[in-house]
Amino acid sequence: MRTIITITREFGAGGGEIGRKLAEALKIPFYDKAIILTAAKQSQLDVESLRKWDERVPKAFGFGQSLFDFYGQPLDEQLFAAQKQAIVNLAEQGSCVLVGRNADYILKEYDHVCNVFIYAGFDWRVNRMSGKMPELTRSKVAMETKAVDKARRKYCEFYTGREWGKTDSFDLCLNSERLGIDRCVSVIIHALKYSE
Amino acid sequence: MRTIITITREFGAGGGEIGRKLAEALKIPFYDKAIILTAAKQSQLDVESLRKWDERVPKAFGFGQSLFDFYGQPLDEQLFAAQKQAIVNLAEQGSCVLVGRNADYILKEYDHVCNVFIYAGFDWRVNRMSGKMPELTRSKVAMETKAVDKARRKYCEFYTGREWGKTDSFDLCLNSERLGIDRCVSVIIHALKYSE
């Protein structure tokens, strides 16, 4: 049976790692930033523009003429449309794990989609990311964590009208600090298996 | 190993049923309204007062002299203190499932506590409760569902200062509409087992 798992995650909570391990265990493809490349290939947009605005809302959206490209369409709308199409195409190909980029919202009319939210306490997330980025001070990592969360929240609310991280959008929400990364993977697999 | 499972739930989402089945499967005691009886036995309060204010904040709290009993303490503070003590006593006795009454907050300093939130779409919850209460019209059940959710939300925010149903407070949050009642039970057991 086709299974699409979307993972929405707080920065540093390990959603990417959980997604990768899940895809490995289920032997299905894993997509996070790769969605961008797929979107770029399928559209006229260049990879660098997509990278720059990935999961962000342009600050001056709607106010700056510079945001309109030569097609007369705001860049980010075009980007969102390209990413949306890429996500739909990937989901149509078969089972996969999709991380971020509002995939839960984009695929909301699809069957066999399991939407997961991964979250954890702020301090735990900062500690975890500090371990991965020893070149940065802890306070720099804390600032970055807040900034990324804020960008993802705005990105979600801007494009979906939904409040980011609210339980309603998800089948299950797991606290990776309390359960641990591997147990999150195992709990998701168990939740999926039972339904087959 | 001692395991305390607290369940916070939206009205009609099946949190009580999940809790009962979980307790049965794990062969441990289940407490929901029984917490009130324990509290009453351990305090000077009568069961009827406790039942009346169970999971509610008195409307006129702080403004009505009538809310003060002959000890000069507002009734609901005394009630909350009695319930809190009852929950601590039950948790001290050994493994159990506790439903509602902010048990997650009351036991927040305890080890081996797994906090679960059970939620579901509003229409699904109303349909489910309508099936259980055939004597009521659907719109009456819908009104009651909203009222109980609102009372629980206020009760939680009044006593804990936490936003009700926000993921932060929980180890895992399960959508009973999407997963089904039995799968929720199974997922919680799986999440617990893995940690032993």
φ and ψ at residue B112, rounded to 5 degrees? 60, 30
**Largest pairwise CA distance in chain B:** 52
Closest-CA distance, A189 to chain B, in angstroms, reads 10
pLDDT at A53: 61
Give the pairing type, strands A113-119 and B30-31: unpaired
pTM, entire model: 0.84
Q: Do B183 and A195 touch (CB under 8 A)?
A: yes
Q: CA torsion, points B118, B123, B126, B131, in degrees to nearest 10? A: -100
Cβ contacts of B10 on chain A, cutoff 8 Å: none
- How large is the ipTM? 0.83
Q: Do A173 and B167 touch (CB under 8 A)?
A: yes
Task: Tell me the per-residue pLDDT of A86-114, one tens digit each, with 9 for 90 and over.
Answer: 888 888 889 999 998 888 888 988 888 99
**Test mutation, A174, A188, A189, A192, chain B, max B CBs within 10 A:** A174
The Cβ of residue B195 has, within 10 Å, a number of other Cβ atoms equal to 14
Task: Tell me the per-residue pLDDT of A9-34, one tens digit each, with 9 for 90 and over.
Answer: 999 999 999 999 999 999 999 998 77
Task: Tell me the per-residue pLDDT of B38-81, one tens digit each, with 9 for 90 and over.
Answer: 766 766 666 666 666 666 655 544 333 343 343 445 556 777 78
**Test mutation, A6, A107, A125, A175, chain B, max B CBs within 10 A:** A175
Higher-scoring residue by pLDDT: A78, A119: A119
Task: Tell me the per-residue pLDDT of B86-144, one tens digit each, with 9 for 90 and over.
Answer: 888 888 889 999 998 888 888 988 888 999 999 999 999 999 999 998 898 999 999 98
Q: Do B165 and A165 touch (CB under 8 A)?
A: no
CA-to-CA separations, B183 to A194, B172, B178, B188, in angstroms, rounded: 7, 14, 10, 8
Q: Using an 8 Å Cβ cutoff, are A11 and A125 in contact?
A: yes
Interface of A with B (CB under 8 A): 117, 119, 121, 165, 167-168, 170-175, 178-180, 183, 186-187, 190-191, 194-195
Closest-CA distance, A51 to chain B, in angstroms, reads 30
The Cβ of residue B127 has, within 10 Å, a number of other Cβ atoms equal to 16
Q: Do B172 and A190 touch (CB under 8 A)?
A: no
